[in-house]
């Protein structure tokens, strides 16, 4: 009986953006078979997303990187494919769906995909209607993409990939920005597609929990970009569990020992208000986003706000930071109405970490990004150097201090965005989903830094 070739075969593959003496990905070998679901885990910055972009031939050409070794698709070296040919067979859904949208409306976005593969005009409309039915979004055909929730945007990104009818679908942390309900909906959609189409699925994720019941194998990259595990989920998270823990990765809850944590005892510290919000409402055009919000944040408190995608969490943080102005109601910060604060003075007392780290980068290197605020505030060169080096060290960014912020991995960008807010101990820190895209170790380290700030009196709002 003839043995079928793997759909994807990676053979001693190395990659780096500059040179191969210390590559980002180092001599990696693995296969993905037809009708198989493979999950890739690894610490932030280990090269997971880079591998996915190498599998469909975008890298190294698109970034002028360097590579060695080989990748084969159905037995053919991917170097032998015409440009754009492999991309139709290996489709990628990115962590941030907005990064792959080109058009304004859902219909136009999907039509754009079909036009690019020269679909006959009379087939475009039926194909769009069918794929919208598949992802459960028939009623959103004419909606503007920017008005959709995070989960809906991710489904549209998936629909664009499905229209190509690829044999392999790569999902790069597709639920990182989704609330739990939207996340489960998306995973169930993928599970259903797998059962109906038998396509191969390659998933990049920090948290494997919800993918496990239809995952065949799990691959693990270490911090040096080497493949250190290629195993079934059960074997990896039981027999090889220490290996996963040593890499600072999340162990699925199914394989964790559950222990009850003692409750913190109340303290009798005097309550001192940091920020007071009264009767706050906010509209976008005719749509009510926030309605009559009342809240007090006390000095040294850590407060978390939860809600589904589109509920208004990010909007509330932007109002609290003074970036947006309320339709009605008012905000008082440190006893002063928000509208009376001068911008530079406000930023010395309050830090705001955006949901998308790239929205706050303004310089060419990680070092300059961290030191920028200190320079504006007139610190001496010695103080700037000492504090910047310490922050880069605390957030595991010392090795990347001269890298362009936009060239960092998703997790590294997030850590850099937090580090830029900590040149002093602010009175209030606002975090919009600070731990997305982080492995277990860096999540714990980041929260440890945040808790330390809290003990120094900073109010934390997540």
Of residues 416 and 83, the one with the higher pLDDT is 416
**Least confidently predicted of 186-190, 247-251, 263-267:** 263-267
Decide: helix, strand or coil at residue 336. strand
What is the arithmetic mean of pLDDT over 430-458? Answer: 84
How does pLDDT run across 372-425, given as a tens digit for each residue?
Answer: 988 888 889 999 999 999 999 988 899 999 999 988 887 788 889 888 888 777
| CA trace torsion 362, 461, 447, 406 (10° rounding) | -20
How does pLDDT run across 270-316, given as a tens digit for each residue?
Answer: 678 889 999 999 998 788 899 999 999 999 999 999 888 778 898 99
Of residues 177 and 267, the one with the higher pLDDT is 177
1 pLDDT more than 50: no
Compute the Cα dihedral for 329, 331, 335, 341 and give only its sign. negative
Burial 2-36 (b: 16+ CB within 10 A, else e): eeeebbbbbeebbbbeeeeeebbbbebebbbbeeb
How does pLDDT run across 357-385, given as a tens digit for each residue?
Answer: 888 899 999 999 999 988 888 889 999 99
Question: For residue 105, what pLDDT is reported?
Answer: 95
Question: For residue 2, what pLDDT is reported?
Answer: 47
Percentage of the chain lying above the pLDDT 90 cut: 57
Decide: helix, strand or coil at residue 256. coil
- Residue by residue, DSSP assigns 358-377 as GGG--SSSHHHHHHHHHHHT
Domains and CATH numbers, the chain: 8-89+166-254 (3.40.50.300), 273-461 (3.40.50.300)
Mean pLDDT, the chain, integer: 89
How does pLDDT run across 37-62, given as a tens digit for each residue?
Answer: 999 999 888 899 999 999 988 888 88
**Least confidently predicted of 55-59, 206-210, 352-356:** 352-356
Question: For residue 360, what pLDDT is reported?
Answer: 85
| Burial tier of 214 (Cβ tally within 10 Å: 0-12, 13-18, 19+) | middle
Compute the Cα dihedral for 193, 100, 67, 364 and give only its sign. negative
Question: For residue 441, what pLDDT is reported?
Answer: 83
Question: For residue 258, what pLDDT is reported?
Answer: 60
Cα-based distances in Å from 434 to 153, 202, 312, 387: 21, 26, 17, 21
91 pLDDT more than 50: yes
260 pLDDT more than 60: no
Distance, in Å, from the CA atom of 260 to the CA atom of 189, rounded to the nearest integer, reads 34
Q: Where are the alpha helices (DSSP H) in 170-283?
A: 180-197, 233-238, 241-246
* Long-range contacts of 449-456, Cβ-Cβ distance < 8 Å, separation of 24 or more: 449/394, 449/395, 449/418, 449/422, 450/302, 451/302, 453/422, 453/425, 453/426, 453/429, 454/300, 454/301, 454/302, 455/300, 456/425
Are the C-beta atoms of 66 and 20 separated by less than 8 Å?
yes
Compute the Cα dihedral for 55, 405, 96, 222 and give only its sign. positive
Which two structure tokens, joined as six digits, stand for 340? 């009376």
Q: What confidence tier does 262 reach under pLDDT thresholds 50, 70, 90?
A: low
Which run of H or E residues covers position 168? strand 168-172
Of residues 376 and 155, the one with the higher pLDDT is 155
Are the C-beta atoms of 164 and 131 separated by less than 8 Å?
no
Q: What confidence tier does 434 reach under pLDDT thresholds 50, 70, 90?
A: confident
Question: For residue 348, what pLDDT is reported?
Answer: 84
How does pLDDT run across 94-146, given as a tens digit for each residue?
Answer: 878 888 899 999 999 999 999 999 999 999 999 999 999 999 899 999 999 98
Question: For residue 263, what pLDDT is reported?
Answer: 52
Strand-strand pairing, 37-42 and 227-231: unpaired
How does pLDDT run across 327-349, given as a tens digit for each residue?
Answer: 899 999 999 999 899 988 888 89
């Amino acid at each position: 009986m003839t043995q079928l070739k793997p759909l994807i075969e990676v053979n001693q593959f190395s990659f780096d953006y500059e040179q191969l003496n210390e590559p980002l990905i180092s001599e990696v070998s693995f296969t993905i078979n037809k009708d198989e679901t493979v999950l890739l885990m690894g610490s932030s910055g280990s090269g997971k997303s880079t591998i996915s972009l190498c599998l469909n031939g975008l890298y190294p050409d698109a970034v002028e990187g360097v590579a060695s070794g080989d990748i084969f698709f159905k037995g053919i070296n991917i170097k032998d494919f015409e440009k754009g040919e492999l991309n139709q067979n290996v489709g990628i859904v990115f962590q941030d769906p907005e990064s792959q949208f080109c058009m304004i409306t859902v219909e136009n976005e999907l039509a754009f995909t079909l036009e690019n593969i020269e679909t006959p005009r009379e087939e475009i409309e039926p194909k769009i209607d069918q794929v919208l039915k598949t992802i459960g979004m028939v009623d959103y055909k004419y909606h503007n993409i920017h008005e959709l929730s995070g989960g809906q945007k991710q489904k549209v990104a998936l629909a664009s990939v499905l229209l190509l009818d690829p044999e392999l679908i790569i999902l790069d942390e597709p639920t990182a920005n989704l609330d739990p309900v939207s996340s489960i909906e998306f995973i169930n959609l993928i599970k259903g597609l797998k059962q109906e189409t038998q396509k191969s699925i390659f998933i990049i994720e920090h948290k494997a929990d919800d993918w496990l019941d239809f995952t065949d194998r799990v691959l693990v990259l270490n911090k040096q970009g080497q493949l250190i595990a290629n195993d079934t989920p059960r074997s990896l998270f039981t027999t090889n569990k220490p290996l996963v823990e040593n890499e600072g990765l999340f162990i699925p809850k199914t394989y964790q020992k559950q222990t009850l944590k003692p409750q913190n005892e109340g303290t009798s510290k005097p309550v001192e208000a940091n920020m007071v919000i009264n009767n706050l409402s906010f509209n976008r055009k005719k749509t009510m986003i926030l309605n009559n919000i009342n809240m007090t944040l006390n000095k040294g408190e850590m407060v978390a706000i939860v809600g589904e995608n589109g509920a208004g969490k990010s909007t509330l943080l932007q109002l609290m930071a003074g970036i947006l102005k309320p339709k009605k109601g008012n905000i008082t910060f440190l006893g002063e109405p928000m509208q009376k604060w001068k911008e530079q003075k406000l930023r010395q007392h309050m830090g705001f970490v955006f949901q998308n780290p790239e929205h706050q980068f303004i310089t060419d290197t990680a070092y300059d990004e961290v030191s920028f605020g200190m320079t504006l505030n007139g610190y001496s060169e010695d103080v700037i150097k000492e504090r910047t080096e310490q922050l880069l060290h605390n957030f595991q960014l010392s090795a990347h201090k001269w890298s362009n912020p936009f060239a960092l991995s998703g997790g590294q960008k997030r850590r850099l965005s937090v580090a830029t807010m900590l040149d002093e101990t602010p009175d209030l820190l606002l975090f919009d989903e600070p731990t997305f895209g982080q492995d277990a170790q860096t999540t714990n380290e980041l929260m440890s830094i945040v808790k330390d700030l809290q003990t120094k009196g900073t109010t934390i709002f997540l």
